[in-house]
């Protein structure tokens, strides 16, 4: 891991800013929730992380993927004792938690790690690594930026000395962005194809296995276009204060389980673009930059790792002002990193 990386920033800031307080994690059994739990444990962050559920009437011991953990009831007492509530589960539970926070006397910080409540007027976009943080306010919802929007904004900022006047990103969406249901559907589709059986399509309403898709089926409960719109809106919000021109992007569903990969094209104002200078600027900004003599970043290669890997920085042979980047990062780890750092920074602010 490089000397400077989002993981090291997250850990250092969290240690410096958090006291041992009670935090509620709603959706601890989800993929995103599990990642948050593991980061808190692995980094020995000074908090008491309590898993809570609206379905539990009392503390229960449950199991998920062979792992045992305790879930507490999500009630007024639990909300009143919490300093922070992190939302990583179902939208309906998030809304219930929101109502409990509004009814409490001293509402805890509410961090929506999924972005499900982002459209509410009380929601505030957060990107601590870009110093894009709202002031602490009562009854607000703090939404860590989407990992793709944050990654692209960081890349554009790193190259601000010779800013890109145009950038285009093709982003490959992993199944884990749809949670365990998305992974299970991709897995079952793959098996059923080999066995010449009908494919489940509850999540995507389309064949994802062995396919690249620009959209999901009409009966899918979510829309890939809506996900892309969210990323575009957030990227514009992050790039604006930095005087950066947001990337144009296309989101494509990929038949992979974990991690984002992106093919990014950048065009600069002047000729004479040098791959070495771009590589140096990105490395100094904390990215793990790999040369052509090293295995490029990949979905499987970055899974379980913090930070962003950039590989194969190459000049565009048809345009002397442009270059290509290959970008890879773990989507679940990025969400967990951003959620914990957001909560840590806001917790520090409230102590001032």
Beta bridge partners of 72: 52
Q: Which tokens is 11 given?
A: 């850990």
**DSSP states along 188-251:** HHHHHHHTT-PPP-TTTSS--TT--BSS--TTSSS-HHHHHHHHHHHHHHHHGGGT-PPPEEEE
Domain boundaries, the chain: 6-144+335-351, 149-330
Give residue 282's region: left, alpha or beta (phi > 0; psi -120 to 50). alpha
Residue 151 neighbours by CB under 8 Å, 6+ apart: 260, 262, 308, 327, 329, 334
pLDDT of residue 64: 60
pTM greater than the 0.85 cutoff: yes
pLDDT of residue 18: 47
What superfamily in CATH does domain 6-144+335-351 come from? NAD(P)-binding Rossmann-like Domain (3.40.50.720)
How far apart, in whole angstroms, are the C-alpha atoms of residue 54 and residue 72?
A: 9
Q: Packing angle between helix 275-284 and helix 147-158, nearest 10 degrees?
A: 120
Q: Which tokens is 55 given?
A: 């379905």
User: What class, spelled out in words, does domain 149-330 have in CATH?
Assistant: alpha beta
pLDDT of residue 110: 94
pLDDT of residue 205: 97
pLDDT of residue 292: 86
- Taking only the tens of pLDDT, the chain with its 352 residues reads 444 455 554 455 445 444 578 999 998 888 999 999 999 999 998 899 988 877 665 666 666 666 666 777 788 888 888 899 999 988 888 888 888 888 887 778 999 999 999 999 999 999 999 999 998 888 899 999 999 999 999 999 999 888 889 999 999 999 999 999 999 999 999 999 999 999 999 999 999 999 999 999 999 999 999 999 999 999 999 999 988 888 999 999 999 999 999 999 999 988 878 889 999 999 999 999 998 889 999 999 999 999 999 999 999 999 989 999 999 999 999 999 999 999 999 887 544 3
How far apart, in whole angstroms, are the C-alpha atoms of residue 61 and residue 70?
A: 5
Q: Which residue has the tokens 């780890």?
A: 333
- Counting residues of the chain whose pLDDT is more than 70, the rounded percentage is 89
pLDDT of residue 56: 62
Closest CA to 75 of 58, 90, 95, 89: 58
- Strand-pair category, 248-253 with 164-173: parallel
pLDDT of residue 3: 44
How far apart, in whole angstroms, are the C-alpha atoms of residue 59 and residue 52?
A: 9
């Amino acid at each position: 891991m490089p000397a400077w990386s989002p993981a090291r920033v997250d850990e250092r800031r969290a240690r410096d800013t958090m006291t041992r307080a009670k935090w509620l994690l709603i959706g601890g059994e989800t993929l995103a929730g599990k990642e948050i739990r593991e980061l808190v444990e692995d980094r020995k962050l000074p908090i008491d992380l309590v898993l809570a559920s609206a379905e539990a009437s009392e503390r229960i011991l449950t199991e998920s993927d062979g792992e045992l953990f305790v879930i507490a009831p999500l009630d007024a007492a639990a909300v009143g004792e919490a300093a922070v509530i992190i939302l990583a589960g179902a939208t309906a539970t998030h809304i219930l938690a929101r109502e409990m926070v509004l009814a409490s006397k001293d509402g805890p910080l509410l961090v929506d790690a999924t972005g499900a409540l982002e459209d509410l007027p009380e929601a505030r976009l957060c990107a601590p690594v870009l110093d894009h943080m709202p002031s602490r306010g009562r009854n607000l919802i703090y939404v860590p930026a989407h990992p793709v929007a944050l990654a692209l904004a960081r890349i554009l900022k790193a190259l601000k000395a010779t800013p890109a006047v145009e950038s285009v990103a093709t982003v490959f969406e992993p199944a884990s962005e749809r949670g365990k249901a998305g992974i299970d559907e991709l897995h079952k589709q793959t098996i059923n194809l080999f066995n010449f059986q009908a494919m489940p399509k509850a999540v995507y309403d389309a064949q994802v296995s062995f396919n690249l898709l620009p959209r999901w089926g009409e009966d899918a409960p979510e829309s890939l276009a809506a996900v892309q719109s969210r990323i575009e809106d957030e990227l514009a919000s992050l790039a604006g204060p930095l005087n950066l021109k947001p990337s144009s992007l296309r989101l494509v569903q990929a038949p992979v389980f974990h991690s984002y990969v992106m093919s990014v094209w950048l065009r600069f104002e002047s000729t004479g673009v040098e791959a070495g200078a771009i590589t140096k600027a990105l490395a100094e900004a904390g990215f793990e930059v790999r040369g052509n003599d090293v295995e490029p970043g990949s979905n499987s290669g970055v899974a379980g790792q913090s930070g962003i890997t950039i590989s194969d920085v190459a000049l565009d042979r048809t345009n002397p002002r442009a270059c290509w980047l290959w970008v890879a990062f773990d989507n679940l780890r990025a969400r967990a990193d951003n959620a914990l750092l957001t909560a840590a920074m806001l917790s520090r602010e409230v102590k001032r």
